[in-house]
Structure 1
């Protein structure tokens, strides 16, 4: 039992002043001054008083550490009172059991900077986070287990490993909860689980793991979409919704209010823009559309978090990918956000600041706009005169009888080379590779023979006759692991096998030599450089000086495909197909003299020089059209019989259509006969699902759009494959102008295999617009391809 002790202390005025200053300092830094934050009736309560959260999403690994405070201060100046962050499991545990929460990964320091600047923090520890981040934040080493399952109780490795990570994160961050004198007001349980499943036992286990990690005082919450938040219950956890710019606020919360009439309302991800994907148009979202829905929320005292307030850059290997269809994300995470990639306010920033000054909580004030920490500069063209050919700078080979993905060789990211001998044959043939993850260049006796791009669904390369046999090299360049949906188990390299087909003969190739080329390979190894230029894949090196240090964008428009390192740091990936043709270089990573730049190009450069510019460059250079319709192609449905013809009701939300009897088929066609507005010539669809005999959606992982009579790719990527990408805020929309502007509009999809179809589901757009919302339709299913 503790003894009671009375101590008499005599201090002068100066001593009292010193004690007061000390206490004030402790309150500011979070070492004392516990507060409360909780949910109340229809509102959040901070120290018992109503509080509207105005949060800005920032990701500490996407911002150079030297710029953290500047970006935080910009968010406060925009009118925010809270910063929202993800924790990235695979960043902090890149090798199993080895944790790193230091330097650029020092998330505790980031949160303390948020508090230093008078703001609160929302933490989203996952374990899954999405975020267009490699594998959605899950660590690559999980993939070494051949039957791994994620986001489920049924896999002990996943559950034990994720619990250890959350426990480690909690030991560092739990002291920063607001109840402990810190500034963390809420912690999220998992992320958008309603898109994945409805397993309440799994979500309960993650909730309990978070509490056990020390987050037992703070308010917990979950986030989902208005279309799926009701798929499961999670007692003791607040619910929030995610949706995009221009959304109809009343519609988004309508069903939520019915089920949760006394809950505070919050849009935990209000998408300010969108992310860019390789080979697709640069994404933008207009200020007027964005600001209107934000005002609607403020008028209703609905809390929000801007996703993203500042996207920054997915440096190194961290950019992810979506699937289906496979669509890798570019390294720039500019997101068309209010604060651009280089940390400068945009038109959206000033519009938000002007709006939010009218909606501040009691005692709040807009922050001053901070000065930029460093200027953007131009850099004269850096000329490359040194090259290290890849085939002459290989590491020691690892023998493997059968093909295996890179994870089985202990490699997490980068490139990988597979080598074997082809059998002698006087006959030409085809090399079939299943599956290429993600881009392959094939060489025979050192001569380039062909390439395969996972995005384009190919898997074969023609092989000439080889009377004496030959050396086969398959170089695999990886892009991001899938961060969303069931395709998240995304091993890299060649994941199944390589087969040589010659007329009737089929031979599976074996006895491979495998060369691992991880991301840091050219930095950590002494490559043999010689005079450039090289015919084939190579690393190029140059040294440059600066008259002035500053941020810059490297113009990569003359290069092919690969990665860039500056002073040992990987800037990320470049690819000639665009839309991004530049790479952001933080000035804090540069110096006046002796800057080293290394470029790996696996496809070949047109010009061995790189200049630094002050603005990003966007442009598309595609091998084939974005459109799913060949010139002159016309769908012929004259001999096809609809499985069902009908009308869709007006209004939002999923529409379920059941056939009078099931139909077997591999291909389906959806034909929109008109729109809800009879004078509207456009068709738009957010999502489509085919219902199987079990009443569940048929997997769309192998779906492929074969035909779409019209697609709008002028303002955003409104291509037809958006109907099965599981992203409700991006849609298929037909072009406003073009050869076929009026109804009917048709879409044909190959499901990859024959299935029994019981019906289909369709989701109209969820924003305020009614353009293209379908009324009358015809739905066809058949075994044979449709006629054109």
Structure 2
């Protein structure tokens, strides 16, 4: 594949004028057995390029450990893109936002209490350099300069919005640029920012691009005023949006988005659809926003995209394809057919394993004088169970100002209340029985903040806990519950309603792989797995009501469903549906 270069106001590829018509497709949000299908559909839409972030936090889960397998097999994804005749825009961060847990920054960075993320802090830069040292040898053979599909590489991500308060932003961005170049990245570099942030986020020697969802003519003019020479490009054309728990499902009419795309292409600009195919925040990987109120993102990253969460074409696919055909060649082929779906109702989850009786199988308790944060425990995702004893009987006020993010409170194993960061709740009134009681606080990391200054988002109990104004010191244990391996759980027949969090298990038969949606109507809050694959979180507050199950997760014959219900359900069964339910919509 030829290398991309910038020639005045144009991109050129193999000495021919070239316009980038790209779409966002994050390999880590799609089952790897479905990568080729999604890439092929990108080509059918008329795209010549796909864009992907690289999630540092998953590729380097610990300072001394890297992963490049399964859903993180970046080179396999790049190979498939090349085979499908697509170029790639690579966005390695280190920060990616993406409504992704912590914006892609590893949680272990926050074990350093003084670290300054996204800055020239030597501790942060040393970690970034180590990441680049491990990542770039995988990437270099795929650069366009070496015959690979990677056209260009992004420096950081929307730093202008963050850099408004950063004193060392220029030094930080300069370090990243040098780090990429010194390690062999010789294709064009680019930055992306919203129009008002272009000056703060730009880097000498890197092409500035702009992000927006509407106002193409106006925003491209802002880019041209900032950068008098160079190709015009919108790196994130927001053709949809993401959802948060407790909100509505956000949609954008296809005709409106298509008209904006047409205006951009008519202006001669290159474009990247954000997103072409959103995919799913599987497991515990969703991020959150905190603009004075913490708001976690839902499991689905459908994003109201041209391809929905199951890879089926939406109204935007047809509308965008018609627009692109006015400006560039589009393959002559029918619209893709929807995938095969499974509909199976009334699957009984008739076995149960109470969480509190399985603790030793899931994590080891760490004693201490105070509760330890997830980062201090070396934990990325999941839950922490904090335990101590309250000795004085009678009514008490429990004060826990550092709940990150949702705490369920138990006395002698019985639930007595919930404290939510999102609701700014810190205090709970409870009564300690004669003789005292065991206090347990189960804290869920609902997703580290992925945008703004609040990305320094440590999890668990991040501050002191007091009773009637007196700090609770000594006698604590902190038990990490990452829930990354449920294989040791022992289930019993669920003959009566249980109290407290529990794993519920059931089985079903399937003829073979098929996409489906796990419907948890009647359940309250928790997580779900199918055949050991962690689908993500569910929550009755919505808007999302069903979890996407990728077809490759199912197998012919027997299949297993495990649901961790944190509160209660009166139903005891679940359904597999052949259509999504992302909740009531908001345009």
TM range (shorter): over 0.9
- Any conservation in 1 of the 2:244–2:296 contact (CA below 8 Å)? yes
Cα offset for 1:540? Answer: 0.7
The answer for the alignment partner of 1:390 in structure 2 is 355
The answer for the alignment partner of 2:286 in structure 1 is 319
Whether 2:297 is the aligned partner of 1:329: answer: yes
Over residues 259-283 of structure 1, what are the superposed CA-to-partner deviations in whole Å (9 max), with x where a residue is unaligned? 3222211000001100111111111
The answer for the alignment partner of 1:643 in structure 2 is none
Cα offset for 1:77? Answer: 0.8
Pairwise CA RMSD: 1.7
- Any conservation in 1 of the 2:318–2:335 contact (CA below 8 Å)? no
Whether 2:271 is the aligned partner of 1:304: answer: yes
The answer for the alignment partner of 1:524 in structure 2 is 487
* Paired residues for 1:268-667 under 5 Å: 268-324=235-291, 325-360=293-328, 364-366=329-331, 368=333, 374-395=339-360, 396-426=364-394, 428-501=395-468, 506-521=470-485, 523-532=486-495, 533-619=497-583
Cα offset for 1:530? Answer: 3.9
Cα offset for 1:102? Answer: 2.1
The answer for the alignment partner of 2:136 in structure 1 is 170
- Any conservation in 1 of the 2:398–2:467 contact (CA below 8 Å)? yes
TM-score computed with the length of structure 2 as normaliser? 0.95
Over residues 404-432 of structure 1, what are the superposed CA-to-partner deviations in whole Å (9 max), with x where a residue is unaligned? 21221122111111111113144x22111
The answer for the alignment partner of 2:191 in structure 1 is 222
The answer for the alignment partner of 2:210 in structure 1 is 241
Whether 2:102 is the aligned partner of 1:135: answer: yes
Question: Per the alignment, in what secondary structure is the counterpart of residue 544 of structure 1?
Answer: strand
Give, in whole Å, the separation in 1 of the partners of 2:489 and 2:282.
Answer: 23
Over residues 53-95 of structure 1, what are the superposed CA-to-partner deviations in whole Å (9 max), with x where a residue is unaligned? 1001100011111110110111111110101111111111112
The answer for the alignment partner of 1:711 in structure 2 is none
Structure 1 residues 597 and 166, CA, compared in 2 at 3 Å: closer, same or farther? same
Question: Per the alignment, in what secondary structure is the counterpart of residue 376 of structure 2?
Answer: helix
Cα offset for 1:613? Answer: 0.6
Structure 1 residues 179 and 548, CA, compared in 2 at 3 Å: closer, same or farther? closer
- Any conservation in 2 of the 1:122–1:185 contact (CA below 8 Å)? yes
Over residues 551-606 of structure 1, what are the superposed CA-to-partner deviations in whole Å (9 max), with x where a residue is unaligned? 10000121111111111110011111100010011111111222111111112123
Gaps of 5+ in 2: none
**Of 8, 15, 24, the match for 1:57:** 24
* Paired residues for 1:36-47 under 5 Å: 36-47=3-14
Whether 2:554 is the aligned partner of 1:715: answer: no
Over residues 280-320 of structure 1, what are the superposed CA-to-partner deviations in whole Å (9 max), with x where a residue is unaligned? 11111111221111111111111000000000111111111
- Any conservation in 2 of the 1:278–1:329 contact (CA below 8 Å)? yes
Cα offset for 1:256? Answer: 2.3
Cα offset for 1:511? Answer: 1.6
**Of 153, 156, 163, the match for 1:197:** 163
Question: Per the alignment, in what secondary structure is the counterpart of residue 408 of structure 1?
Answer: coil
Whether 2:177 is the aligned partner of 1:207: answer: yes
Whether 2:65 is the aligned partner of 1:120: answer: no
Give, in whole Å, the separation in 2 of the partners of 1:455 and 1:606.
Answer: 26
Cα offset for 1:379? Answer: 1.7
Give, in whole Å, the separation in 2 of the partners of 1:116 and 1:511.
Answer: 59
Give, in whole Å, the separation in 2 of the partners of 1:60 and 1:300.
Answer: 30
Structure 1 residues 549 and 233, CA, compared in 2 at 3 Å: closer, same or farther? closer
Stretch deviating more after TM superposition (98-107 or 218-227)? 98-107
Question: Per the alignment, in what secondary structure is the counterpart of residue 545 of structure 1?
Answer: strand
- Any conservation in 2 of the 1:176–1:183 contact (CA below 8 Å)? yes
Give, in whole Å, the separation in 1 of the partners of 2:512 and 2:176.
Answer: 50
TM-score computed with the length of structure 1 as normaliser? 0.71
- Any conservation in 1 of the 2:246–2:541 contact (CA below 8 Å)? yes
- Any conservation in 2 of the 1:143–1:489 contact (CA below 8 Å)? yes
Give, in whole Å, the separation in 2 of the partners of 1:366 and 1:534.
Answer: 57
Cα offset for 1:373? Answer: 8.6
Cα offset for 1:529? Answer: 3.1
Give, in whole Å, the separation in 2 of the partners of 1:494 and 1:393.
Answer: 22
Give, in whole Å, the separation in 2 of the partners of 1:318 and 1:71.
Answer: 21
Question: Per the alignment, in what secondary structure is the counterpart of residue 526 of structure 1?
Answer: coil
- Any conservation in 2 of the 1:417–1:515 contact (CA below 8 Å)? yes
Structure 1 residues 618 and 255, CA, compared in 2 at 3 Å: closer, same or farther? closer
The number of residue pairs the alignment matches comes to 578
Give, in whole Å, the separation in 1 of the partners of 2:338 and 2:218.
Answer: 42
Structure number with the bigger relative contact order (C-alpha 8 A, sep ≥ 6) is 2
Question: Per the alignment, in what secondary structure is the counterpart of residue 74 of structure 1?
Answer: helix
Give, in whole Å, the separation in 2 of the partners of 1:50 and 1:547.
Answer: 50
Give, in whole Å, the separation in 1 of the partners of 2:338 and 2:391.
Answer: 61
